[in-house]
Amino acid sequence: MTKQEILEREDAQSTTIHLYKEGIFWKAYEYSAYRFVFGILKCKPKKQRFKETSTEMIHIGFPLTSLDTHQDSFRLISKDENTCTIEPVDFLPQMTFEEWKNSIETTISNNKGANLMLPKGTSPTDEYIINKVRSFNIESKTPMDCMMFLVDLKKKINGEV
C-alpha cells in the first residue's frame, strides 16, 4: 500500500487502528498512530515528509513480535500477512488529533541516516535549504563548488528553480 493510499484511508478517522507491516515492524500512520498512542501504548511518534504525499505524516512503529504483549489493550478486527486492524479497548485522548499532530516536531534524515529536528512551521523551501546546507561538506569542496552551492541556494530562495 502506498503512502498516498494510507493517507487517504487515515482521513476517515475511524475508530479502528490500521497497522502496516514494514520489514520487522508494524507501523501506524496519522489517525491510527494517534489512537494507538492514546489507546494502547505510549510510543514516540515521528512527523516526516514523504515524497509520495508531499505532505507531513505522523507515524509510529514497533516490532512485529510486541503486538501480542499488548493484546489486553485491543480487540483484533482483522489480520493478514501485511496488515492488521485493531480497536483499542480504552481510548482516552489527552488532546485532539490536530493538537497532537501540531505538537510533534518534523524529523528529517540526513545523508548518514540520522534524524534531525526541524523547527515547527518549517516550509518545504526552508526544509530543502536546511537539508542542502547540512549535507554540503564544505571541507572537501573547492571555492568554485562553494560559490555554485550559494548560487543554487539563492535561486531556490528567490523561487527561480
- Give pLDDT, residue 114: 44
Q: Which of 1-15, 47-61, 110-124 has the lowest mean pLDDT?
A: 110-124
Question: pLDDT averaged over the chain?
Answer: 85
Q: How confident is the model at residue 84 (pLDDT cuts 50, 70, 90)?
A: very high
Smallest CA-to-CA distance from 45 within 134, 3, 105, 111 is with 105
Tens of pLDDT, residue by residue over 34-44, are 999 999 999 89
Rounded distance between C-alpha atoms, residue 116 and residue 55, angstroms: 18
**Which of 1-15, 62-76, 132-146 is most confident?**
62-76
Q: What is the DSSP letter of 139?
A: G
Measured on CA atoms in the order 59, 53, 83, 10, is the torsion positive or negative? positive
Predicted confidence (pLDDT) at residue 51 exceeds the cutoff of 90: no
Tens of pLDDT, residue by residue over 97-154, are 999 999 998 876 544 444 455 566 666 677 778 878 888 888 777 888 888 889 888 8
- Give pLDDT, residue 17: 96
Predicted confidence (pLDDT) at residue 56 exceeds the cutoff of 80: yes
Q: Give Cβ neighbours of residue 5 (< 8 Å, ≥ 6 apart).
A: none
Rounded distance between C-alpha atoms, residue 41 and residue 116, angstroms: 24
Cell of 64: 512485529
Helix (H) or strand (E) holding 57: strand 55-63
Q: Domain spans of the chain?
A: 3-104, 119-157
